[in-house]
């Protein structure tokens, strides 16, 4: 088995710098996108409630207007 090669300190420093830079960038991006996603979820919830209310009204109207033998 071949012994592992020595990695240059410059390469090690660059790799660790890239890792830490990526972590910092990811945290900043997450903090930027979190409120945007919360607003989208709030808006979708409002739209879902409105859609359910419209479906309920439509169902009531269609039941009231249906001509059946049971009436």
pLDDT in tens, 32-58: 999 999 999 999 999 999 999 999 999
Q: What are 17-27's pLDDT values in tens digits?
A: 999 999 999 99
Residue appearing with tokens 């960038």: 25
Higher pLDDT: 28 or 59? It is: 28
pLDDT at 71 over 60: no
DSSP state of 2: P
* Domain layout of the chain by residue ranges: 21-63
Q: Please state the φ and ψ torsions of residue 8, each to the nearest 5 degrees.
A: -60, 140
Q: What's the predicted TM-score (pTM) here?
A: 0.60
- Angstrom distance (rounded) from CA 7 to CA 16: 13
Which is higher by pLDDT, 1 or 36? 36
Q: Is 18 left (phi over 0), alpha (psi -120 to 50) or beta?
A: alpha
């Amino acid at each position: 088995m071949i012994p592992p090669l020595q990695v240059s300190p410059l390469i090690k420093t660059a790799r660790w710098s890239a890792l830490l830079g990526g972590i910092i960038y990811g945290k900043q991006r997450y903090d930027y996108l979190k409120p945007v996603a919360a607003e989208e979820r709030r808006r979708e919830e409002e739209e879902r409630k409105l859609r359910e209310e419209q479906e309920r009204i439509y169902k009531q109207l269609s039941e009231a207007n249906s001509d059946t033998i049971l009436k």
